[in-house]
Amino acid sequence: MSAQLLATELHNLITESKRKHQDLRQAAEKSLEEIKSLRVSEAQFGAELSQRINFVNPFIIACGTKNAKFTGIAIVCLQRLIVSKALPRSKLSPVLEALREATSAGLDVQLKILQALPSLLQNYSTDIRDDLLVTALNICFILQSSKNAIVNNTSAATLQQLIVSVFEKVVAEDKSSYENTVGEAPVDDGVVQLKAAALDAYRIFNDLCLLTQSQRPEYLRFSGLPQTFGLELIESALTNHAAVFATHPEQVYILRTKVLPFIIQALSGRPHFAASVRLFRILYTLLKRHLTLIPKESGEALDILTHILDQDTTIWKRSLCMEVFRGIFAEPTLVRRIFRMFDAKEGEKDVLKNLVATFVRVSTEKPVVIGLGHQSTIPVANPYSTSADQAVLDASGVSVSVIAGSVGGAHDTGISTQWSSMRVPCIDQLDKTDPPPIPESYVYSLTLACITSLSEGLAKFILPLTVPGERSRRRGKPGSSIEGGGEDRPDSPASLERSASFKKNPVPVNPLLLKDHPLYLDVETCALIIDECWPAILATCSTFLYAALDSEYYHGLVRAFQRFAHVAGLLQLTTPRDAFLTTLGKAAVPPNVFTACLNAGQPRQPAPSPASEAPTNSILSNARGLLSVESLVSQSAAEKTRPQSFDASSSAL
């Protein structure tokens, strides 16, 4: 900070205020004399100036004059004093009031105020609390209601930054054991004593929830907060400081009594797209990070999501639900936790079972859209629209579905990465007030993604636990003798061959037998998920197995079949294992061969002549013999015993 710059600005105030503002001129003259009397280096200038209590008086007075020129000069100087930590701590309250009075000035002044506030909270974090913190936040709220887009967006970002800094103070306070409690807040079983930063965070977050619900705040002196912006502030606090909510029961109390009930009530109604996006984002954050803290409310929220997916006909709302579920199924630990907290517990609702049962109904609701048939086919694009045409129509605001309907209802058939996915998911489109164009098959592609993620999560968790340890690979100690003939000796060639074969293909361990393993509870949960949810999972997979899928989706579906069957087999769950293998095998056989196999068991018509009868031991005499293991084994044995033919021509060569 340059003393010369401050002296110049003070001289300007003196020059401009000679006639009308005598108090401002006198205060500026005194401050100018104080600067001239300082004989310190530039590094010590800020610390020395902070001891001069009356130095900031002319700037405070200038902001109160409502004069644009005076206010502009004062804000520039105050901003430099704040950054240099040159403000006297006893003058923080008048300075904040001066900044609040200057909010009615021009654009440049408003932006400089917003630039100064984060530095003020950072450099004077121990002093800006309680009423001073309220004043700082109110300045942002006032500017956030500005009609100027630049000021509005800047104030929104600044307010979000200030709220994050409030929670950062809580983190720092929790690490310190020297702070004393200054107040209390309600919790589930009474009240809890709080330190200064924790009390500020509780009051601010509680008022944000009240303002978002269009209620009167208890602490902040502001009203009329837009609901979408309030939801963004709540999400910002939950995302950036999840640990604070996990360790502070007063914050959990707000989540349980205000946040989740409001979300459930709002989603049960008809919120517009912009509000719905933010509601779903907050709900996903709570389910992902704080499920165990609010179990009852989380179960109700999951039921609401399942109900919307099953009953609602609005495609963008169903897409938001499925995007939340896609995020949940991408977290295998979260899926196991949900099942353990609800489905596996007596007296609780079947959350995961109801969800996968809903997947069955979703997969079969529009067979024409997914191209459901007697066998799997490739997707077929709408012949009346190309990607270029669609881009032009989207840019002009014309719906492609309207054009397609006018030419006979043509549409894309099947699920393909070309038209069944979105470049930006609905849940990330915070800048949209209206829902974007959503492919009709988008919900079904998300359903496939959930099934694939579920199978992958089960396989990645179970398969490593089935690898046998060193002890299980040893048949006996080295050098031990085995009684018997030469064929059973450890050093015999046959024994070495068997040992090498066993090492190459060891028998997998059933994880359900590892009851002393620290992850046994999760293993048991995985087994319960497969045992109780496999009928719905199989029904969903079977539907898509006969739909029109491109190579990527079809490969993922077959891999899901493989993983479910593999995990079920390793856990020795024979019924789901055989069901998945049977369904996959039936789909792998060509329809004409399968029909021939079915007809083979029916009585044959008598042949017209004995000469035309095929040999009874021929594999082609029965279509079922094509897939008969016994026939293939006998044929292989016959080929081994058959003498090799002698080629005379080769010997001649």
CA-wise closest residue to 548 among 364, 380, 362, 359: 380
Query: What mean pLDDT comes out for the span 518-546?
Result: 95
Question: What are the tokens at 485?
Answer: 């003939």
Q: Is the pLDDT of residue 273 over 90?
A: yes
Query: What mean pLDDT comes out for the span 361-370?
Result: 93
Model confidence at 606, in pLDDT bands (50, 70, 90)?
Answer: low
Range of lowest pLDDT (81-85, 153-157, 160-164, 420-424) = 81-85
Q: Is the pLDDT of residue 502 over 60?
A: no
Question: What are the tokens at 564?
Answer: 């479910």
**CA-CA distance, 209 to 265, in Å (whole number)?**
14
Q: What pLDDT is attached to residue 297?
A: 92
**CA-CA distance, 634 to 630, in Å (whole number)?**
6
Q: What pLDDT is attached to residue 199?
A: 94
**CA-CA distance, 151 to 622, in Å (whole number)?**
82
Percent of the chain with pLDDT over 70: 81
- C-alpha to C-alpha distances, 220 to 135, 142, 182, 578, nearest whole angstrom: 8, 12, 18, 63
Tell me the per-residue pLDDT of 109-168, one tens digit each, with 9 for 90 and over.
999 999 999 999 999 988 898 899 999 999 998 998 888 899 999 999 999 999 999 999
- Concatenating the DSSP letter of every residue in 182-244 gives EEEEEETTEEEEEEHHHHHHHHHHHHHHHHHTT---SS-S-----HHHHHHHHHHHHHHTHHH
**CA-CA distance, 73 to 56, in Å (whole number)?**
12
Q: Which helix (H) or strand (E) segment is 396 a member of?
A: helix 387-396
**CA-CA distance, 207 to 204, in Å (whole number)?**
5
Distance from the Cα of residue 624 to its chain's centroid: 50
CA-wise closest residue to 437 among 415, 416, 422: 422
Range of lowest pLDDT (197-206, 230-239, 281-290, 625-634) = 625-634
| Of 524 and 16, the one with more pLDDT | 524
Q: What pLDDT is attached to residue 229?
A: 92
Query: What mean pLDDT comes out for the span 557-565?
Result: 95
Most distant CA pair in the chain: distance in Å?
Answer: 131
| Of 10 and 642, the one with more pLDDT | 10
Q: Is the pLDDT of residue 424 over 70?
A: yes
Q: What pLDDT is attached to residue 596?
A: 77
Q: Is the pLDDT of residue 452 over 90?
A: yes
Give the pairing of strands 181-187 and 190-195.
antiparallel
Q: What pLDDT is attached to residue 494?
A: 52
Tell me the per-residue pLDDT of 278-325, one tens digit each, with 9 for 90 and over.
999 999 999 999 999 999 999 999 999 999 999 988 999 999 999 999
Ramachandran area for residue 388 (φ above 0: left; ψ -120 to 50: alpha; else beta)? alpha
Main-chain phi, psi angles of 441, to 5 degrees = -95, 10
- Amino acid, res. 167: F
Q: At what angle do helices 574-588 and 551-570 cross, to 10 degrees?
A: 150
Query: What mean pLDDT comes out for the span 597-622?
Result: 52
Range of lowest pLDDT (18-22, 200-204, 460-464) = 18-22
Model confidence at 337, in pLDDT bands (50, 70, 90)?
Answer: very high
Q: What pLDDT is attached to residue 280?
A: 96
Tell me the per-residue pLDDT of 403-419, one tens digit each, with 9 for 90 and over.
444 344 456 789 999 99
Instruction: Please enumerate, as own/partner, the contacts of 594-602 that have beta carbons within 8 Å and a separation of 24 or more.
Output: 596/623, 597/623, 597/624, 597/626, 597/627, 599/623, 600/624
Whether 426 contacts 316, CB under 8 Å:
yes
- Burial class of residue 523 (count of CB atoms within 10 Å of its CB; 0-12, 13-18, 19+): buried
Range of lowest pLDDT (95-104, 216-225, 405-414) = 405-414
| Of 17 and 165, the one with more pLDDT | 165
Q: Is the pLDDT of residue 639 over 60?
A: no
Average pLDDT score over the chain: 82
Query: What mean pLDDT comes out for the span 232-253?
Result: 93
Main-chain phi, psi angles of 186, to 5 degrees = -75, 145
Question: What are the tokens at 440?
Answer: 């009709």
**CA-CA distance, 490 to 479, in Å (whole number)?**
8
Domain boundaries along the sequence of the chain: 1-124, 283-381+412-467+508-595
| Of 332 and 66, the one with more pLDDT | 332
Range of lowest pLDDT (158-162, 277-281, 399-403, 514-518) = 399-403
**CA-CA distance, 559 to 553, in Å (whole number)?**
10
Ramachandran area for residue 432 (φ above 0: left; ψ -120 to 50: alpha; else beta)? beta
Q: What pLDDT is attached to residue 600?
A: 73
**CA-CA distance, 281 to 287, in Å (whole number)?**
10
| Of 224 and 610, the one with more pLDDT | 224
Q: What pLDDT is attached to residue 48?
A: 80
Q: What pLDDT is attached to residue 7?
A: 83
Q: Is the pLDDT of residue 492 over 60?
A: no
Model confidence at 615, in pLDDT bands (50, 70, 90)?
Answer: very low
Main-chain phi, psi angles of 185, to 5 degrees = -145, 150
Q: What pLDDT is attached to residue 588?
A: 84
**CA-CA distance, 143 to 162, in Å (whole number)?**
14
